[in-house]
Structure 1
Amino acid sequence: MLKSFEHVGMTVSNMDQAVAFYCDLLGLTLHLRKKTDDGSDLAFLDAGGGMLEIIAPVNGAKRAVDVPDDTAGLRHLTFLYTSVDETFAKLEAAGVDLKERPRFTYNPEVLHKVAFVRDPDGIIIELAERKN
């Protein structure tokens, strides 16, 4: 029997940059950070309803490539906020790479408003809010 969503794992090029982005700017909480046996950096970031596992390989990593519309794969990570507008403004002021400004959703049955930014490695992050 399924209990809950646990985590998504992803590769980053720089652990310090990733932790600063996801924790300081997006509001996740650092749960664990350590070195693996091969010297890579590993961290688990708590997003409130599941974790984000990030691994920074010893020799770094290339910038992420967007998944084309006709290719299977993870398209973006979505985090839920009380206000997309406020969160987007904070990220814009911090110089984050902006992809799409806040707008009303195409799926109002699920979400109210969304915006899209990129993390330091180019991974697309969706900021979402639900109707009150």
Structure 2
Amino acid sequence: MAANPHGYTFNHTMLRVKDPAKSLEFYCDVLGMTLLRKSDVEAGEFSLYFLGFTDDEDEVPKDEKAAAEYVFSRQGVLELTHNWGTEDEDGPVYHDGNAEPQGFGHIALDLPDLEEAVAHFDRLGVEFQKRPEDGKMRHIAFIKDPDGYWIEILSAKAMAGG
């Protein structure tokens, strides 16, 4: 079979978030992602935040139509969906996928230096689900976002045995 015979692109993964301010602080300030586009859907009472990694924030188009095409033609975009009013609810609002019944597991980020990233997350008080020194898989860690979703952090080089 030909590689990608249809020309498909894996564009984005969506996570529902309780408080967009906390989630944007985590994904942008802690992980270094860029808010590529925000869309408020008044009829549905929700907002969409599209995030991705970019070397230059100026590459993101300012024009709404161009920004939409830019976001929906990229790979590796994270869509955070905020249903208005959830930030006012007590306790967790969404299932993280890792408690019973299990479903969704995690997203993963390749980092240039796992040890340096762990120190960065420690300085910022990020919650770990699994530290590299825990268990047998010492080349990965899992951190949690404000809604309890797991994020695997790894180094592609270490994963390949290098």
TM class by smaller structure: 0.7 to 0.9
Specify every segment of 5 or more residues in structure 2 that has no aligned partner in the other structure, as ranges: 1-5, 55-74, 87-91
Shift, 1:13, TM fit: 0.3
Please, which of 6, 17, 23 is the counterpart of residue 11 of structure 2? 6
Match of 2:116 among 68, 81, 86: 86
How many angstroms apart in 2 are the aligned matches of 1:64 and 1:88?
25
Give me the TM-score of the superposition, normalised by structure 1.
0.81
TM-score by length of 2: 0.68
The 3 A distance-change label for structure 1 pair 83 and 3 is same
Structure 2 residue corresponding to 1:98, chosen from 111, 119, 128: 128
Per the TM alignment, residue 72 of structure 1 is displaced from its structure 2 partner at its CA by 5.8
Match of 1:109 in 2: none
RMSD between superposed Cα atoms in Å:
2.4
Distance 1:94 1:57 in 2: 27
1:124 Cα deviation after fit: 0.6
Q: Give the counterpart of 2:26 among 9, 21, 34.
A: 21
> Computing the radius of gyration over CA atoms, which structure comes out larger, 1 or 2?
2
Give the equivalent residue in structure 1 for 2:143. Answer: 117
Query: What is the rounded CA distance, in whole Å, between the counterparts of 1:35 and 1:4 in structure 2?
Result: 25
- Partner in structure 1 of residue 93 of structure 2: 62
Q: Is the 8 Å Cα contact of residues 113 and 130 (structure 1) preserved in structure 2?
A: no
Q: 1:15-60, CA deviations, whole angstroms, 9 ceiling, x for partnerless residues?
A: 1111111111112111012311233221000146410001111121
Q: Distance in 1 between matches of 2:125 and 2:47?
A: 25
The whole-number CA distance in structure 2 between the counterparts of 1:58 and 1:68 is: 25
Describe the SS at the equivalent of 1:102. coil
CA distance 1:105–1:76, change in 2 (3 Å): farther
Uncovered stretches (5+) of structure 1, i.e. residues with no partner? 107-111
Asked if structure 2 preserves the Cα contact closer than 8 Å seen for 1:80 and 1:127, the reply is yes
| Structure holding more strand per residue | 1
